[in-house]
Structure 1
């Protein structure tokens, strides 16, 4: 999820790899770490003439210059095909190199991977801090008597036979593990946030989740003292105080979390941190304490807005309580992700409706980012075991495990030939609706929040059924013969195109307002407000000798770039209050007002909107860049002579200074020249 204050860049070092590297460093072995995520960014930045034909070639060119005898990969499901192709390429040119896989994906598909890809020599399953060094010792050939058959937790080849040793024991004392070897990541200075493992395992057993399988349901937390000690080291050595706690359910042990927060509050240093939690594993008191201790982000896996499906998938959350916990985190200024999943095999339209309504209802909260993913049958999960013989490859990929819109053709060939190795790219058949329908609903609600803020929430509160709104929209779009041929292709989705926002505004002002709306005036006003952001405004270029930072009588004020002004016929403050508090929109009173806000701050629309008084509106219109503040104040004699006994000149000066403080106007040392951004010619005053 994305968290302030590092929202613009959420790249992080490869935690699992660096954790193993730290163990090796303690043994006197310094491994070379290649961060493929950073390498991919370097690949994208290459000039066209310098860039290899594909990323795989770029990787090989980078790594082949490094000396090594063992090539190890951490694996996750979304990039598993690419990982295997890299390993194959190196094995082709370096047959003596031992290729080792570890991590979540290889651990649960070890046997089918070894059968399908003979260039893989070893797979280290599960937690590897004890196992991996033993494997290297057995491979060292330095007189070690350690036999591969005695190394727990590995799968390997012995001639033509594949041997799977018993599982290794989990690391019970996480405090004994060293701090990850962050210094081995060449990109360490670039990061805004550092991940820190604070625990492992989850005591719950949701049917779709792979965490329980990988960690054998062994829930553990580091001691509060160890967590804070490692946070301080990160801050001292790398100058980073933003820490992302790596653990699926940090708050499962409430006592330890309270102790951690209290120690952190009293340690005399400032940290910002984020974590993952279940909504039934926190309460309002704990959330308040976490916020006080510097918690800036929580990832809540809600999974479904359907009370029935909560039981089916073994999540078993009370959804009313979930909303209250999310609301509490929001009130404390904690950025919160509310993650949902759809396209479960048993999911009915009523279940989907509940999830979509839950998703859109989250728009009420300023600090909440709802997320919706299509279900993926992750290897090793209960749901995969139940449906592994029924999987279909429909090329409607899930983003539940960070997969993209498209796959490389070579990857697709591998996926087609090996469903038991790559089940996450497959789909579980759905009983009540086509997966293409789930996919379009998911795209609709996910991308609608890119273009709109209040309109979807108004539709939900006005109609009570956002899925019905979608169905009506879909029918309207079809009848209008709008081209949506790219809905299920690898191209940029229709719903992420600006054309969708224009089409949806037309739907809102024509069909919805006329055929469905209960609060017609409210819907009309919200569309008018949001449409201001969607209309590409070509502001004139302002050529000024000097933009001033100080407001004075001799300055030349002009309207800020991207400023929008609109006249409404309803009470805007009451409208926003009604949306936030889920009140009847038909009760929003009429009121003629003028509002102004900045285009650059669309995400904070409800905060940045300014309701202008008649005087402020008149003053704003006079700020044309060709009159000084003193000129405008002098011309105010045409206004009311006094306001509450204060001379009009003083009132106007104060009003202009407030417009400047609010960012609605800027000031220049000399008259400004406006240039048409299309023609480059100067515009006349007042243009």
Structure 2
């Protein structure tokens, strides 16, 4: 919350007694480097021999042995942690052995790497307790900003389910399948957040709220019947972006849907296993705009044999359909460990292993980690530069026009609601 330097963590652990310290991260160059820095700070504590250090999340879970060696952690958690962690604490307390805890990896006392049986997924996610919001400064966390949120509106994330029914080749999600929460459970949580913390905007931050047409409509109707009266955003699928579905979402309070378009090239979409075509994408985006919901247009470049002209097609698409609720640029695809694309890179000699990925190749999310195309890095970077310069210029022009309109309203129409040009 306060963004203290990592050294403060060492000092804090020196001054307080803990049984376990846990760090959880997703994949990514920033998360990897931050995990190493935090691990160094944790291991430097003079109390290190008295507490266990555990790590988890999709990042370490993809290659537990590598992360154990890099962080000197005692245990890596693999998969969902709610049940695993309770059992792990029992093991740390001497009530059971580490080997008996499913869903973990560790180096035993003989220096041997041990990975236990896969943890079974929690099938009824309604049984999982809500987050312990009372342990956090909610006045800070409620300052999250999302498209179409007002300056005086407070916002928090909520999960509508776990997992995804699709299997994109660049996704490193470890847990298979989709497990939805009931509408009743979601509504109860949102009503609590409204009454307790005055939340007016909810981010459904799970991988896919729009898992089917039927579920989406059912959930939205439940929101309407419950008179939730909130704004919300979610991750969606263009396969299900029919007018009737989107109208119901709009009626239920949805103001922004984040779509994973990824490419406008049909062959590349097939290679990705997106289950989309350019025709489906275009229809879905046009429908979304037609009902008055902002679409988040996410496009990446560089999947297997993707043509260079796909970048030009993506730019034209963004310039035509982007409503500028957010600045949108095009990034290279990244083959994170755990993804099918990572395995492809290993098989074709484009990567050696996880160490090669994190220590040599993945230096930034806007730079190529692996080039899967038939074009040179220089050709791709030149094309991405030209594409993103056009997108940035267009976004800034739109913002400038909005400021000019505000200025005219202020001085010529004496707009007394004006509260300054500074961004908040």
TM-score by length of 1: 0.53
Corresponding residue pairs, total = 393
Cα distance per residue 1:219-248 (max 9 Å; x no partner): 111011111111111111111121111221
Question: Residues 331 and 76 (structure 1 numbering): CA distance in 2 closer, same or farther, change over 3 Å?
Answer: same
Note if contact 1:391-1:427 (Cα within 8 Å) is conserved in structure 2: no
8 A contact 1:243–1:271 mirrored in 2: yes
After superposition, the Cα gap between the structure-2 partners of 1:158 and 1:260, relative to the gap in structure 1 and judged at 3 Å, is: same
Residues 18-417 of structure 1: matches in 2 within 5 Å? 38-40=1-3, 43=4, 55-62=5-12, 64-78=14-28, 79-93=31-45, 94-96=47-49, 97-117=51-71, 119-141=72-94, 144=95, 146-159=96-109, 160-191=111-142, 192-211=154-173, 214-215=174-175, 217-363=176-322, 365=323, 370-388=328-346, 390-391=349-350
Long gaps (5+) in structure 1: 1-37, 44-54, 394-415, 454-500, 502-529, 534-599, 611-658, 668-687
Relative to structure 1, the CA distance from residue 307 to residue 228 in structure 2 (aligned partners, 3 Å threshold; closer, same or farther) is same
In the alignment, the residues of structure 2 paired with residue 185 and residue 63 of structure 1 have an alpha-carbon distance, to the nearest angstrom, of 19
What residue number does 1:552 align with? none
Q: Please give the alpha-carbon distance, in whole angstroms, between the structure 1 residues aligned to 2:217 and 2:333.
A: 34
The 1-side partners of 2:246 and 2:26 are apart by 31
C-alpha distance in 2, partners of 1:87/1:221? 34
1:71·1:100 contact (CA, 8 Å) conserved in 2? yes
Deviation of residue 601 (structure 1)? 5.3
Superposed CA deviations along residues 566-598 of structure 1, whole A, max 9, x for unmatched, are xxxxxxxxxxxxxxxxxxxxxxxxxxxxxxxxx
Post-superposition shift, 1:664? Answer: 4.4
Counterpart contact for 1:343–1:430, Cα < 8 Å: yes
2:401 to 596, 599, 602: 602
Q: What corresponds to 1:504 in structure 2?
A: none
- Structure 1 counterpart SS, 2:37: helix
In structure 2, relative to structure 1, the CA distance for the partners of 1:452 and 1:109 (3 Å cut) is: same
Q: CA deviation at 1:300?
A: 0.3
CA contact (8 A) 1:360 1:445 kept: no
For the residues of structure 2 that align with 1:421 and 1:451, how far apart are their CA atoms?
33
Distance of aligned partners of 1:356 and 1:98 in 2 relative to their CA distance in 1, 3 Å threshold: same
Deviations 1:342-389 (A, max 9, x none): 1224122233333333233324x4657644211111111001001126
> 2:105·2:113 contact (CA, 8 Å) conserved in 1?
yes
Q: Tell me the CA shift for residue 153 of structure 1.
A: 0.3
**For residue 446 of structure 1, what is the aligned residue in structure 2?**
388
1:634-673 correspondence to structure 2 within 5 Å: 662-665=409-412
Q: Residue 25 of structure 1 corresponds to which residue in structure 2? A: none
CA–CA distance in structure 2, aligned partners of residues 421 and 350 of structure 1 = 29
**Cα 1:180/1:447, change in 2 over 3 Å:** farther
Contact 1:249-1:278 at 8 Å conserved across structures: yes
What is the CA-CA distance between 1:267 and the residue it aligns to? 1.5
CA separation of 1:386 and 1:190: change in aligned 2, threshold 3 A: closer
Structure 1 residue 603 displacement after superposition: 4.6
Q: Which residue of 1 aligns with 2:356?
A: 419
Deviation digits for residues 534-589 of structure 1, max 9, x if unmatched?
xxxxxxxxxxxxxxxxxxxxxxxxxxxxxxxxxxxxxxxxxxxxxxxxxxxxxxxx
Cα offset, 1:263, TM superposition = 1.7
Q: Deviations over 1:252-306 (max 9, x none)?
A: 1332221221121121331111110110123111011001000111110010011
Counterpart CA distance in 1 for 2:324 and 2:34 is: 38
| Aligned-partner SS, 2:2 | helix
Q: Secondary structure at the match of 1:354?
A: helix
Whole-angstrom CA distance in 1 between matches of 2:221 and 2:304: 44
**1:73 offset after TM fit, Å?**
0.5
The offset of 1:421, in angstroms, is 5.4
Provide structure 2 residue ranges, at least 5 long, that are not aligned to the other structure: 143-153, 415-424
Task: Look up the SS of the partner of 2:267 in the other structure.
Answer: helix
Give yes or no for contact 2:311–2:383 (8 Å, CA) kept in 1: no
Structure label with greater radius of gyration? 1
CA distance in 1, matches of 2:260, 2:69: 35
Does the C-alpha gap of structure 1 residues 103 and 168 become closer, same or farther in structure 2, counting only changes over 3 Å? Answer: same
Query: Following the alignment from structure 1 to structure 2, what is the Cα–Cα distance between the partners of residues 80 and 368?
Result: 27
- In structure 2, the CA distance between the partners of 1:357 and 1:275, relative to structure 1 (3 Å rule), is same
Higher relative contact order (CA 8 A, sep 6+): 2
TM-score when scaled to structure 2? 0.84
